[in-house]
Structure 1
Amino acid sequence: MLFRGRTVAAMMVLTAVAACVATYALFEFPEWKFVSSGAKASETSPSGSEGLSQDELYKLNKTLSLIERRYALPMEREQLIDGAIQGMVESLHDPYSVYKPEEEAEKFSDALHGAFTGIGAELRIENGSVIVESPIRGTPAERAGLKPLDVLLSINGESLNGLTLSEAVSKIRGPKGTKVKLKVQRRGVATPLDLELVRDRINPETVDSGMAASGVGYLSIYQFTDETAAQVKNELEELEAQGLKALVVDVRDNPGGFLQSVVEVADQLLEKGKPIVQSEYRDGTRKVDVAAHGAKGNKPYPIVVLMNKGSASAAEILAGALKQSAGAVLIGETTYGKGTVQVPFNGELGDRSILKLTVYKWLLPDGTWINEKGIDPDVRVKQPTYFQAWRLPRDNVLKYDTTGEPVENLQNILLGAGFPPDRKDGYFSEGTKKAVESFQKSESLPVTGEVDEETAQRLEEKLYAKIQDRSYDAQWQAAISKAGELLNMSKRP
């Protein structure tokens, strides 16, 4: 039961899927939701009005005039205006609030629906650096080993430092089948990693489900689009028809999506009237979304939520709601910690540009704000170390008596592929060479004991296949086991 839905609004930029890990409201809120009804204009803006004061307007006009008359190099007036707006938004120091000029806004709108071509990684800008939020499952980014919180330093030798998100993405994107070389800085790794990816058509999965064993079913939600709630409904009905008795909800590496979507999904799993999420506006007032319809039949079943550090925003809303309002058990790792909601204002500036702003905080049902902290699991489970492996180099051969992090990564991959070397400290030992030879022999490759491009490719394919096999997924196994345990407990008199 596999559905392919539209890309979520988090995947705003065509190819690398930028500015995400976000929860988006599906509509623009009226002003009263931002300001209390008794607030005066002077309380909502420093100037006491919605626009610029005469002094402020004079200052901006004078700056524009001086640049146009005195600046030494050619410039475009439109770029100056866009730059002024961009500067205002950047001064908010909020990575989720962005301005997109007309050309970029058109691409943004096109990217909201359907598949696109790129590497399949969720990105954002923080302090001038391009940060990976999470790779999309089954994409070049995931296969190459990109991980949440990786910093993209350069692409094809061009630095990405200091660029806007749109500028960075324009360098990363490209036609299907073309190669892109990324230099990546990873936490805990001393030297940057060199990864080579092949751009591909990205058609992100939205929902998947199935039965594991003994009435334990699973529901994997990869993002929250405008289609997700309906897909979840269909999947749950199929699971129930197969005798569902306990449920594992997997939101690992889910970067978020539409707020309304996650509310509608939670509504199907909670009792009627149970709180899902609180929204806190800038004047401190709050609104609580509750399960309007509530679970029907035998629901809610015992629920386990599977999450990791790539679970963000709307995924965290669902995890928190199921934990606090349905008694779900959380398994895996601490989530990302993104507790704000954005609205894209289309056409508000008089043209086709888009201004996307953070409009309020979201809180857990008990009022906790998890921003920059995340949600801790009840049962912490780490994956095997080879789940953290990255792509092997293609521009140089790894061989006996070499050292460094690429060799350490190779040893980790060999372990995951089932050919453990004698050590894992980054020294290409005789034992590492023998492990490579054993692998080459098993794959009918030239037995050289050296890792050239062909051997590297086969090793990565072997490891990727193993990682996709849930029998090696420690977090998955822990979640299924816990669901079975909860099911047995529920049967006791």
Structure 2
Amino acid sequence: MKKFAKNFLFFLITIFLIIGSFKAGIYYNDLKQEKPKERVLIVENKESGKPTNVDFGLFWEVWQKLEEKHIKREDLNRDKMVEGAIAGLIKSLDDPYTVFMTPKESKRFQDDVQGSFSGIGAEIGIRKGSLLIITPLKDTPAEKAGLLAGDKILKINNEDTIDMALDEAVSRIRGERGTEVNLLIARKDHETKEYKITRDNIKIPVIKFEKLENGLFYIALYNFSANASSEFNKAIGEFISSGSDKIILDLRNNPGGFLETSVGIAGWFIERGKTVVTEDFGGKNTQSLHSRGPAKLQKTPMIVLINQGTASASEILAGALRDINGIKLIGEKSFGKGSVQEIDNLSKEGATLKITIARWLTPSGRSIMDDGLEPDIKIERKAEDIEQDKDPQLDKAKEILKSL
């Protein structure tokens, strides 16, 4: 069973973050429709596996009264009513990462996983009831427009986002290339500004690396997609051949991706057999994932950069490097997307359920979910720094490594 690591598993506005693999489980839910006397359509719950300690009588009573009395009873869309009931059930969990997807939404999801999507190129999530920009992706309309990690989305095309479900927000923000979306954004300095952004096809970069002065080598990892491991291996090859001896690993605005990719990359730095992350399945049991080595760079001086857009698999890597190797984290507190999702196929052909099944713990036992990672050295990169192409977080990393 493969699991989602995106965290961000958060959704991308372009639904990029949902690049996990999934478990093909089946849950059977049979709603049988029968015609009783007169013209009223009664829908009975015939699901054989329903919990015995739950009384569904009130639900079916409401359903029947709608069928009998609602002014639009002749035009009721029963499939839509069922889907709405399921959506309400899931909303009661207060977990934005557990999502029911209709066949149409599931198809769109699969298209996004394969990269055939357009949007503005940002990942969004919900924290404390607020819709947030988790990460504006590199070289996308969102980044070019000036959106920052941590920005609150107050309105989408003049529609208030209060109580708006995450998947609904995603659907409203994404769209065809060349069309526009208006976002009302509130920044943490209380500035409120409207952004008009033109959607485009999103090409998601994986990595950037370069040799710097004074023996430093810079690696920016933008996600943990399926090919991130091979791209990271190329970067390490360049590092070794460059003669550099110190690494700055930039995980800022990295929303996550495959858990396995994160663990594999950790193997360059963490001794074989050491725990990289532990999955806690709600107290029932735990499962630890271990480094597979070769740990050739275990003793390489290193700094990791994080910010509010560092989420999911990138938090796992950063947390493991600090807990095991004592690597310093510089920047801002990470997002805190430390939960595990899997996708189950449902009995209605094409419908799926993405469900949170576990939370992630760092090697020291610290929960990533909600809390995130606090940096060892806190340095904010403000909007004006970005506009002026200044990077005090990177500058601090250079300063520290030069002194080693």
- Settle same-fold status: TM greater than 0.5: yes
| CA deviation string 1:343-387 (max 9, x = no partner) | 122x23332112111111110101111332221222222225503
How far apart, CA to CA, are the structure 1 residues paired with 2:327 and 2:133?
Answer: 29
- Confirm or deny that 1:121 pairs with 2:122: yes
CA–CA separation in structure 1 for the residues paired with 2:347 and 2:403: 56
- Cα distance in 2 for partners of 1:194, 1:116 equals 24
Q: Please name the residue that 1:233 is paired with.
A: 233
1:292, distance to aligned residue in structure 2 (A): 1.9
Letter in 2 for 1:61: W
Q: How far apart, in 1, do the equivalents of 2:24 and 2:338 lie?
A: 18
What residue number does 2:263 align with? Answer: 263
Q: List aligned pairs for 1:30-69, cutoff 5 A.
A: 50-53=49-52, 56-69=55-68
Q: How far apart in 2 are the matches of 1:136 and 1:16?
A: 10
SS of the residue 1:322 aligns to: helix
The alignment partner of 1:249 has SS state of: strand
Query: Structure 1's 19 and 150: CA in aligned 2 closer, same or farther, altered over 3 A?
Result: farther
Partner of 2:311: 312
Distance 1:131 1:381 in 2: 21
Q: CA deviation at 1:61?
A: 3.4
Q: Does 1:202 align with 2:202?
A: yes
Equivalent residue number for residue 446 of structure 1 = none
Letter in 2 for 1:481: E
Per the normalisation by structure 1, the TM-score is: 0.70
Q: 1:222 to 1:249 in 2, by over 3 A?
A: same
Alpha-carbon offset, residue 284 of structure 1: 4.4
Shift of 1:106: 0.7
> In structure 1, how many angstroms separate the alpha carbons of the residues matched to 2:168 and 2:286?
37
Distance 1:55 1:305 in 2: 49
**Matches for 1:152-191 after TM superposition, within 5 Å:** 152-189=153-190
1:334 maps to amino acid: K
Is the contact between residue 9 and residue 256 of structure 2 (CA under 8 Å) also seen in structure 1?
A: no
2:13 is the counterpart of 1:16: yes
Contact 1:331 1:380 in 2 (8 A): yes
Deviation of the 1:330 alpha carbon: 1.1
* Aligned residue in 2 for 1:78: 79
Change (3 A) 1:223 1:189: same
User: Residues 130, 12 of structure 1: CA spacing in aligned structure 2 closer, same or farther, 3 A cutoff?
Assistant: closer
Between the aligned partners of 1:24 and 1:258, the Cα distance in structure 2 is 5
Are residues 104 and 233 of structure 1, via their aligned partners in 2, closer, same or farther at CA, if it must alter by over 3 Å? same
- Map of 1:68-467 to 2, 5 A cutoff? 68-73=67-72, 74-125=75-126, 129-189=130-190, 192-296=192-296, 299-345=298-344, 347-384=345-382, 386-387=384-385, 463=387, 466-467=388-389
* Structure 2 CA distance for aligned equivalents of residues 287 and 212 of structure 1: 39
Q: Please tell me the root mean square deviation across aligned C-alpha atoms, in Å.
A: 2.8
Match of 1:476, SS?
helix
Superimposed CA distance per residue, residues 320-351 of structure 1 (whole angstroms, 9 cap, x where no aligned partner):
11111122121111211222111122x23332
Contact (CA 8 Å) 2:341, 2:357: kept in 1 or not?
Answer: yes
Report the structure, 1 or 2, having the larger strand content: 2
SS in 2 for 1:154: strand
Gaps of at least 5 residues in structure 2 are 27-47
Between 178-187 and 50-59, the greater mean CA deviation after superposition: 50-59
Is contact 1:117–1:199 with CA below 8 Å preserved after alignment? yes
Counterpart in the other structure of 2:31: none
Per-residue deviation, 1:304: 0.8
Once the two structures are TM-superposed, the CA of residue 64 in structure 1 deviates from its matched residue by 2.5
Secondary structure of 1:133's counterpart equals strand
Residue 481 (str. 1) matches residue 399 (str. 2)? yes
Q: Distance in 2 between matches of 1:11 and 1:359?
A: 12
Contact 1:270–1:300 (CA under 8 A) maintained in structure 2: no
- Distance change in 2, residues 1:89/1:66 (3 Å): same
- The amino acid of 2:384's aligned partner reads Y
1: CA distance, partners of 2:294 / 2:272: 4
TM-superposition CA deviations, 1:93-125 (whole Å, max 9, x none): 111111111111110111012252111111124
Distance change >3 Å, CA 124–CA 335, structure 1 → 2: closer
**Distance in 2 between the 1:248 and 1:123 partners?**
27
Q: Secondary structure at the match of 2:67?
A: helix
Once residues 286 and 330 of structure 1 are traced to their aligned partners in structure 2, the CA distance between those partners, rounded to angstroms, is 27
One-letter amino acid of the structure 2 residue matched with residue 387 of structure 1: D
- On the 8 A contact 2:126/2:166 being kept in 1, the answer is yes
Q: Give the secondary structure class of the aligned counterpart of 1:124.
A: strand
Structure 1 position 78, deviation (Å): 0.5
8 Å contact from structure 2 (residues 16, 123) kept in 1: yes
CA–CA distance in structure 2, aligned partners of residues 279 and 474 of structure 1: 34
User: Which AA in structure 1 matches 2:262?
Assistant: V
Counterparts of 1:127 and 1:251, CA distance in 2: 24
Task: Return the offset for 1:8.
Answer: 7.6
Amino acid corresponding to residue 85 of structure 2 in structure 1:
A
Q: Does the Cα contact within 8 Å between 1:24 and 1:257 map onto a contact in 2?
A: yes
Aligned equivalents of 2:127, 2:331: Cα separation in 1: 26
What is the SS of the residue equivalent to 1:134? strand
Partner Cα separation in structure 1 for residue 288 and residue 403 of structure 2: 33
Q: Is the 8 A contact 2:10 2:124 kept in 1?
A: no
Amino acid at match of 2:147: L
8 Å CA contact retained: 1:26, 1:258:
no
| Alignment size in residue pairs | 377
State the identity %.
31
Equivalent residue letter for 2:172? K
> Relative to structure 1, is the Cα distance of residues 136 and 19 closer, same or farther in structure 2, using a 3 angstrom cutoff?
closer
For residues 290 and 124 of structure 1, the distance between their equivalents in structure 2, rounded to whole angstroms, comes to 29
Residue 23 to residue 292, structure 1, CA distance change in 2 (3 Å): same
Structure 1 residues 219, 140: CA separation in 2 closer, same or farther (over 3 Å shift)? same
Measured after TM superposition, the shift of residue 28 of structure 1 is 6.4
